[in-house]
DNA sequence: TTCCCACTGTGATAGCCATCACACCTGCAT
DNA sequence: ATGCAGGTGTGATGGCTATCACAGTGGGAA
């Protein structure tokens, strides 16, 4: 299976600093971009962990133990039904925070988090995190905003599944949603998409074979083009039209 | 069309106090249950509005102007696709906050909010709300938790749509999800469900006729019972089994 | 090289269910 | 009482697509 996700990143975990206070990527990461004072406290309560590729960070149904901040690497978030169907919710990238909503609600984790490559992750236990929030008002505001963004992403998933009538529509919408969010900020009509067809199918709510057929058809119809693992959306308008 | 939602409430808007500080229902409402000081400030920035039945509070795609707290009445939250399909996200009840995520993200409202009966709503403009948040750390924490709960609800929607293979599965799952969340706290296997089949279909991602057929079948198979507008889930285990 | 394994491509088939069509039922307004 | 409008019950039909089956492909390991 391909092991790198939506937008190209190095296949191995980059070295990350010992402490968040020294992290140079902080500024561009919504959650991490905290006031000095808060970051220092965060460094006290956070634990730095390295996960090998293909390991489970936490599992759907486990009572939430705390939150996980992705420092490097990619992590697949997926939920499974009793009869073995899988829904891939998203591929988390550095800067994403996992387990926030379950931790705040004191509910079981909604999904299983599995590393797709070696990952560096900082984790904070539930109790410490809640205390951290109540001490730093700014952090609560950041957190609210981070969850708001996650909400929006899941909303798009639900919307796509409910409103994009056909498999073609859902796949087209998925690619458009990706092009729009561009993995980090700016929309880009060309992006690297190294998921397998099976994984795409699990995100679009369809089957592996249908994804294969549709991608080929999109290419024949010249609404997309593929060069290796990268995809260009040639005619976004045409694509919108297929959605429903 | 029936005008009362999932769990029985008076058909007309109850009288609500002039100011939140005097509201007796505050304690049991996650968002409203704020410290004294915050409530007073909230009363200064909030505007009390009465909406008649079947009026639009805000529309999908409008740039977020602010948040809306439901004081009385029921409000349908729905998204529509270009070709006229409708997804009903939820029926909001008193205590729910609308437009939070769009306001925090500074994005357009994700859904259209339409009153199902006369409603009392308190609204706060975006700018005032953000300032309010930055002044009261506690409120940010509350807000984060409220959004976390909304996240969980949408997640269940997405999950249901993606993983509950058949229409029967999705409808069964929808009823189970409702029974579990019980509209306010405790799970109840019997609840009032006065939505039309059309509306149910729009929540379960299926068609009106299929909902009719399935409800009848569920009743024939004695997994549910109906008395007027109320539904009892007789055999929840059997129901889980249908989900997938 | 050779094997192996995961991934991709493609046809055939069958089943689900959206859609159309129409009957019926109820409450409500005229 | 009459008609109307919105909601519900039910059959017939066709299209989409999941699923099965199997062939082709390409890269990594031995």
* Domain boundaries defined on chain B: 20-160, 164-243
Protein CA B196 to sugar C1' C26 (Å): 14
Give per-residue pLDDT as tens, A200-237: 999 999 999 999 999 999 999 999 999 888 889 999 99
Provide the pLDDT confidence category of residue A2 given band limits of 50, 70 and 90: very low
Predicted confidence at residue A159, as pLDDT, reads: 96
- Cβ neighbours, 10 Å, residue A53: 16
Confirm whether any atom of chain C, the nucleic acid strand, is less than 7 Å from CB of A144: no
* Rounded mean pLDDT, B56-70: 97
Topology adopted by domain B164-243: Arc Repressor Mutant, subunit A (1.10.10)
Q: Which nucleotides of C are covered by protein (CB under 7 A)?
A: 6-12, 16-21
Protein CA B171 to sugar C1' C17 (Å): 14
CATH number of A165-243: 1.10.10.10
Q: Which helix (H) or strand (E) holds B125?
A: strand B119-125
Cα–Cα distance, B57 to B46 (Å, whole number) = 15
Predicted confidence at residue B17, as pLDDT, reads: 87
Provide the pLDDT confidence category of residue B12 given band limits of 50, 70 and 90: very low
Spell out which residues of chain B touch residue A244, defining contact as CB-CB under 8 Å: 81-83, 85
Provide the pLDDT confidence category of residue B4 given band limits of 50, 70 and 90: very low
Predicted confidence at residue A179, as pLDDT, reads: 85
Q: Cβ neighbours of residue B190 under 8 Å, at least 6 residues apart?
A: B230, B231, B232, B233
Do B164-243 and B20-160 fall under one CATH topology?
no
Give per-residue pLDDT as tens, A118-133: 999 999 999 999 999 9
Q: Cβ neighbours of residue A10 under 8 Å, at least 6 residues apart?
A: none
Nearest to A85 among B143, B155, B244 (CB): B244
Cα–Cα distance, A107 to B148 (Å, whole number) = 10
- CATH superfamily, region B20-160: Jelly Rolls (2.60.120.10)
Mutate to test the interface with B, among A155, A174, A180, A199 (most CBs of B within 10 A): A155
* The pLDDT of residue B38 is above 50: yes
Cα–Cα distance, A90 to A153 (Å, whole number) = 9
**Residue percentage of chain B with pLDDT more than 70:** 91
Give per-residue pLDDT as tens, B208-241: 999 999 999 999 999 999 988 889 999 999 999 8
Task: Report which residue is nearest nucleotide C27 when distances run from CA to C1'.
Answer: B1
């Amino acid at each position: 299976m391909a092991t790198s996700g939506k937008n190209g990143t190095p296949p191995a975990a980059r070295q990350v600093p010992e402490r968040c206070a020294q992290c140079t990527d902080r500024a561009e990461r919504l959650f991490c971009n905290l006031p000095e004072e808060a970051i220092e406290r965060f460094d006290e309560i956070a634990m730095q962990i390295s996960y090998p590729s293909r390991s489970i960070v936490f599992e759907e149904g486990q009572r939430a133990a705390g939150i996980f901040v992705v420092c490097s690497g990619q992590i697949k978030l997926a939920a499974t039904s009793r009869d073995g169907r899988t829904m891939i919710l998203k591929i988390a990238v550095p800067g994403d925070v996992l387990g926030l909503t379950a931790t705040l609600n004191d509910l079981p984790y909604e999904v299983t988090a599995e590393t797709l490559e070696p990952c560096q992750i900082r984790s904070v236990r539930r109790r410490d995190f809640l205390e951290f929030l109540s001490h730093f008002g700014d952090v609560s505001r950041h957190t609210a905003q981070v969850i708001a963004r996650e909400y929006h992403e899941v909303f798009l998933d639900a919307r796509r599944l409910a409103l994009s009538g056909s498999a073609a529509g859902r796949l087209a919408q998925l690619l458009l949603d990706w092009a729009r969010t561009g993995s980090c900020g700016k929309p880009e009509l060309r992006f690297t998409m190294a998921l397998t067809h099976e994984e795409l199918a699990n995100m679009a709510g369809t089957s592996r074979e249908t994804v294969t057929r549709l991608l080929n058809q999109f290419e024949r119809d010249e609404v997309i083009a593929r060069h290796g693992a990268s995809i260009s959306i040639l005619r976004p308008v045409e694509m919108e039209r297929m959605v429903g």
